[in-house]
Each structure stands twice: as structure tokens, then as C-alpha cells.
């Protein structure tokens, strides 16, 4: 689960990371009031969306008067901001963050991520911040510094100081960096985070380190024990299909194709999408109904897939172990009748109670297309889609 910049800053500030003073605004008038409240002669107005690249997309601006703050805010509210990290529809802007402008002498990059290879938290840092980490890795790979943290020991001060030295920091900046690194590590560890990123972490004209931007994402599977984090969820920034599916325990990711997929098991789902591509089609989604899928759960899966208006064919591919083919078959028949389906549905069943499942499909009298293998199912789904397009 992602959160907004201002939320990440509030969290990190509680752990000891220095951040600029700022205020949240839900209207242009409120944005102007925030600028007046903060004081000074220049302010940075930032669109709050779950995406990087806001500046290049016109979502961040330095303003030098209260009137300019209000005028820029008025152009952002309600706008669908399209960045290089969003799809063509972009993300809706419904809140802004206004903070006092900072005197920037140097920009650094700092990130905490899970390194699955070493099974440890890894710090990634660079003396050149202000750009995406992918761009940094491509343009100046030698600037990246990596350090893993032993979970039994935690982040030690000598590690933090070593990283500060590698980034070229001096004097009091080293102590400041140690404080920031340890604070980020505690926030990551204590809140079940998946990523903590500060970009840029700036050195100001007075030599102080300040986090000008921050991102945090969290392990969705751990939110049940982090209610204070779950409350920060902003559904307006999520694909409604994915959030609705998640609420019902379904793993769903929307794609750009037109063959809807209802499958059990992430591995089988990936293999099915690959087979659809190999057959010349394009999957519309990744959807894993999970184990022990009841007929009602199958119906919810159909509702989720049908929420995508691009879907022209639905492919149900079940290899039952924990699941039962007869339950899935009942769900397919129930969905077809309850939802008034008119789209072609290809069904491939294998595994536990497969004979009973096939009997239910055959006895339904519905125009369901059956398949014996994964390859057969993908070929039939693609062929059906091509016939509809002809």
C-alpha cells in the first residue's frame, strides 16, 4: 500500500527525520492560507498523488506570492495528472501540499528496500539525488552505494557513518546523516514497510540535511496489525477494480488486453497469461481466486473481471488441489445465470473432483466452451476473440 508524500513526511518526522514545515490544502483558497500561515516569500506547491515524476508532469511549482499559489492550485485540483509512472489515465489530484521553499546546496538520494537475494533490508544511496533511481542507475551507476543490514543487529552507527563518508559528507553532516539513517530504518522495521525513499535529501545553504520529498509503501499483508497505517489508504489513487478485488480477498492486477482471466494460483496465472500471449492474444488481467474458492467467490471474480469493459472473452483455468473443480463449476454456472453473461466463457478444469466439475458444466446447458489443457484453453480463448473481432 502506498501513501502520499505528506503522510510519509509526517511518519518519518515522528522517527526523527528533519522535514520542511508545510500544510495540506483541499482547495485553492486553503492553499493560499497555508502559504500565509507558513510565512516567507516563496513556497513549493505539490500535487499529492501516488506517483513519482510529478515535477516533470507539471504537478510541482515554486510560487513567489500567495496569489500565484492559489492560481497554480486552481489548475491542479480535479486534474488527472499523467506522469511516466502512471497509465494514460493518470492520477486524480484532490489534495495539495504547500511548504516553504528551501535553500538547496546539494541533492542526495536515500532509499531503504527489501533485497530478496540477501533476504535483508538494503540501503541504496547516492550523492546525486533529484532524479529517479532508475535514471541514476543508468546515467551514473558508480554513484550508487549499497549496504545491507543484519536483522539480528540492526543498523549500527559505524555502518551509518561509513555510508555518510562514502557520500562525501563532513563535520556535523555525518551525525545528521546517522540520525536520518537510523530513523528511516526504525520506521521501515517498526511499521512493516516495503520501501522508504527520500529523494531528494538535500543539504541546505546552512549545511543541514532536510528531506524535501519522501515516499513510503507498506506490506499489505501486515496492515491488519498496523491500523494507524491502514487509515492512510487513499482509494482515489487506486484502480477501483484492484481495490474492490482486494477487499474480497482476490489478487487482481488490471492489464491492457481483452481476454479476462480467472485462475487459481499465481504461478498458473502467469503461465496462462504467457500462453495467451503465445497464442496471439492479450490478457486483460491477472486474477488469482486463491485456495478454497467457494461458488460465491467465483461469482465475485466474474464481477471483478467484467468491471473491465475491454474484456471480450473470459478464460477460467483451474488446477484444483485445495480448490475443488465442482465448487468452481458451480460458481461458473451461477455467475453465468446471475450476471446475465453474454460474453464467451472458456473453462478448463483439472485436479480435485474434476469429473464432477465437468459434469456440472455439461449438465448446465449453457454455451460454455470447455478445454482439456492450458494450451487448448488459451488457443480457444484467442480464437473466440478473433471470431468476435472479424
The reply, when asked if residue 61 is annotated as ligand binding, is: no
Order across the sheet with 22-25: list the strands.
22-25, 96-100, 43-47, 60-63
| Helix, strand, or coil (residue 341) | coil
- Find, among 321, 319, 323, the residue nearest to 347 by Cα: 319
- Find, among 233, 263, 235, the residue nearest to 251 by Cα: 263
The reply, when asked if residue 267 is annotated as ligand binding, is: no
The reply, when asked if residue 107 is annotated as ligand binding, is: yes
- HSE at residue 33, side-chain half, CA atoms within 13 A, is 7
Based on the number of CB atoms within 10 Å of its own CB, is 155 exposed (0-12), middle (13-18) or buried (19 or more)?
buried
Let me know if 197 is a catalytic residue.
yes
- Contacts of the segment 70-77: beta carbons below 8 A, 24+ positions apart: 70/28, 70/29, 70/31, 70/32, 71/28, 72/45, 73/25, 73/27, 73/28, 73/31, 73/32, 73/45, 74/28, 76/45, 76/47, 77/27, 77/28
For CA atoms 14, 193, 2, 124, the dihedral sign is positive
| Helix, strand, or coil (residue 232) | coil
Number of neighbouring beta carbons within 10 Å of residue 252: 23
The reply, when asked if residue 99 is annotated as ligand binding, is: yes
Contact between 54 and 47 (Cβ < 8 Å):
yes
The reply, when asked if residue 54 is annotated as ligand binding, is: yes
From the list 5, 6, 109, 252, the catalytic residue is 109
From the list 5, 6, 185, 197, the catalytic residue is 197
Q: Which residues are annotated as a binding site for ATP?
A: 46, 53-55, 99, 102, 107
Positions marked active-site: 109, 197
Q: Which residues are annotated as a binding site for Mg(2+)?
A: 199, 213
Q: Which residues are annotated as a binding site?
A: 46, 53-55, 99, 102, 107, 199, 213, 264
Amino acid at each position: 500500500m502506498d501513501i502520499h508524500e505528506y503522510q510519509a513526511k509526517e511518519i518519518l518526522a515522528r522517527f526523527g527525520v528533519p522535514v520542511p514545515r508545510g500544510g495540506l490544502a483541499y482547495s485553492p483558497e486553503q492553499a493560499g492560507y497555508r502559504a500565509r500561515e507558513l510565512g516567507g516569500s516563496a513556497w513549493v506547491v505539490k500535487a499529492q498523488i501516488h506517483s513519482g515524476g510529478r515535477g516533470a508532469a507539471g504537478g510541482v511549482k515554486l510560487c513567489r506570492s500567495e496569489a500565484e499559489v492559489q492560481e497554480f492550485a486552481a489548475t491542479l485540483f480535479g486534474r488527472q495528472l499523467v506522469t511516466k509512472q502512471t497509465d494514460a489515465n493518470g492520477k486524480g489530484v484532490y489534495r495539495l501540499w504547500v511548504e516553504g521553499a528551501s535553500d538547496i546546496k546539494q541533492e542526495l538520494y536515500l532509499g531503504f528496500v527489501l533485497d530478496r537475494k540477501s533476504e535483508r533490508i538494503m540501503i541504496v544511496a547516492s550523492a546525486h539525488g533529484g532524479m529517479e533511481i532508475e535514471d541514476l542507475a543508468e546515467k551514473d551507476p558508480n554513484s550508487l552505494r549499497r549496504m545491507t543490514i543484519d536483522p539480528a543487529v540492526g543498523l549500527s552507527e559505524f555502518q551509518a557513518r561509513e555510508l555518510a563518508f562514502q557520500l562525501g559528507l563532513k563535520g556535523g553532516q555525518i551525525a545528521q546523516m546517522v540520525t536520518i539513517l537510523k530513523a528511516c530504518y526504525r520506521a521501515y522495521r517498526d511499521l512493516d514497510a516495503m520501501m522508504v525513499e527520500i529523494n531528494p535529501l538535500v543539504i541546505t545553504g546552512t549545511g543541514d540535511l532536510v528531506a524535501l520529498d519522501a515516499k513510503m509503501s507498506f506490506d499489505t499483508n501486515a496492515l491488519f496489525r498496523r491500523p494507524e497505517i491502514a487509515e492512510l489508504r487513499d482509494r482515489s489513487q487506486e484502480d477501483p477494480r484492484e481495490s474492490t478485488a482486494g477487499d474480497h480477498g482476490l489478487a487482481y492486477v488490471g492489464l491492457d488486453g481483452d481476454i479476462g482471466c480467472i485462475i487459481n494460483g499465481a504461478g498458473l496465472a502467469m503461465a496462462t497469461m504467457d500462453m495467451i500471449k503465445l497464442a496471439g492474444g492479450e490478457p486483460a488481467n491477472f486474477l488469482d481466486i486463491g485456495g478454497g474458492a467457494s461458488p460465491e467467490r467465483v461469482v465475485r471474480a466474474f464481477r471483478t473481471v467484467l468491471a473491465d469493459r475491454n474484456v471480450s472473452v473470459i478464460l477460467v483455468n483451474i488446477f484444483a488441489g485445495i480448490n475443488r473443480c465442482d465448487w468452481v463449476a458451480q460458481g461458473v454456472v451461477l455467475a453465468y445465470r446471475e450476471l446475465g453473461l453474454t460474453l464467451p466463457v472458456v473453462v478448463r478444469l483439472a485436479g480435485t473432483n474434476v469429473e464432477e466439475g465437468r459434469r456440472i458444466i455439461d449438465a448446465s446447458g449453457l454455451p460454455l466452451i470447455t478445454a482439456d489443457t492450458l494450451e487448448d484453453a488459451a488457443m480457444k480463448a484467442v480464437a473466440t476473440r478473433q471470431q468476435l473481432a472479424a
